[in-house]
Every structure is written in structure tokens, then in C-alpha cells.
Amino acid sequence: MTLTRREILGAGGGLAALSLSSSAVWSGEIVEIEMQGRNDGSQVWFDPIGILVKLDQAVRWTNLNPGNSHTTTAYSPKNSGRPLRMPRAAKSWDSDYLMPGESFSVTFTEQGVYDYYCIPHEHAGMVGRIIVGEPEANGWTKLAGADDGLPEEALKAFPTVEDIMAKGIVRRA
């Protein structure tokens, strides 16, 4: 996994490229995930919330929520001792706070299922799931204790592995 520097989208540039179609997932181009929220802050989310990508695919999160900052943070003991909900061999990530218009990219070099959250909004269910490659081939199983300390709103929000495998992209409900 490679962490790349933060990027700031230029005015007018980049945003057009954020519209995601299923073909985009397989095009080899960067896969985009939006960080979004209502203006009054009553709801916040990642969209798509679940996505299937190829091995060595780069994924970019961009904060398109003008009134809020967000993070993309892997569930890993390396991030504040959180439970491991990603492949053991993979490197964890934490974007730190992204201001509106900022983005953060990760390239996934290990197959498996990755769960992540937004630090200030985990309790509001702002979480997401990325599947890289074919998790069955990687022997993905639910890790014992991986639910420890997760808020119920977060646990409820994850799309199932089966749903992501079937659809490729799971948009926010």
C-alpha cells in the first residue's frame, strides 16, 4: 500500500471526474469516493459506501462537504488501537482531517476486505468498506473481536461482502 500526498482540487477542475460509473471501477483509473454531508451536519457519509476494486487499484477520497472536515481512517490497531478489520499484511492508513476540497489517496496492494471510518463521525455511521481482488481466494474471514468498540451505527452501516461482490459499487442508501 502506498500513501500519497494530499491533493487540493483546483476550482472547477477535478470535480467533473468524480462522477462514478461502474465502468470506472475496472478502467484502471483512480476510483473516487466522496465524503459528503448535509449542510446542517445532521447526516454525513461516504459515497459509495462499498466498492470492489482490483489489486493495485488507487482509491481517492475527496471531501465534497463544504461545511465539515472528515477523515478516512483504517480500522487497525495502529490507529488509536482500533480493532483490525483489514488484511493483516496490509498497511493501515489515516488521512488526518481533510478540509473541504482536499483529497487523500491509497493504493491497495493486498487482496481482502478493508473497513474504514471517519474519526469525528464514526458514531454517526460514517464508515465504508473496500474489497480488493477476490477475498475468498485470500481466505477472508471475520476476525475475532473485530467488532469490539465499534458503535452500533457503524456496524449497521457496512454493506455486506456479498452485496459488494455482487454489485461492484454500493451507493449510499
CB-nearer residue toward Cu ion: 46 or 108: 46
Query: Rounded to an integer, what distance in angstroms lies between the CA atom of residue 55 and that of residue 62?
Result: 21
Mention every residue, 6+ apart, whose C-beta is less than 8 A from residue 48: 20, 33, 128, 169, 170, 171, 172
For position 118 contacting Cu ion by CB under 5 A, the verdict is: yes
Site for Cu ion in 19-78 (CB under 5 A): 44, 70
For position 103 contacting Cu ion by CB under 5 A, the verdict is: no
Position among 49, 64, 126, 131 found at the interface with Cu ion (CB under 5 A):
126
CB-nearer residue toward Cu ion: 105 or 111: 105
117 near 126, Cβ under 8 Å?
yes
Position among 121, 125, 129, 159 found at the interface with Cu ion (CB under 5 A):
121
Report, in Å, the least distance between residue 150 CB and Cu ion: 16
Query: Rounded to an integer, what distance in angstroms lies between the CA atom of residue 161 and that of residue 115?
Result: 11
Residues that bind Cu ion (CB under 5 A): 44, 70, 118, 121, 126
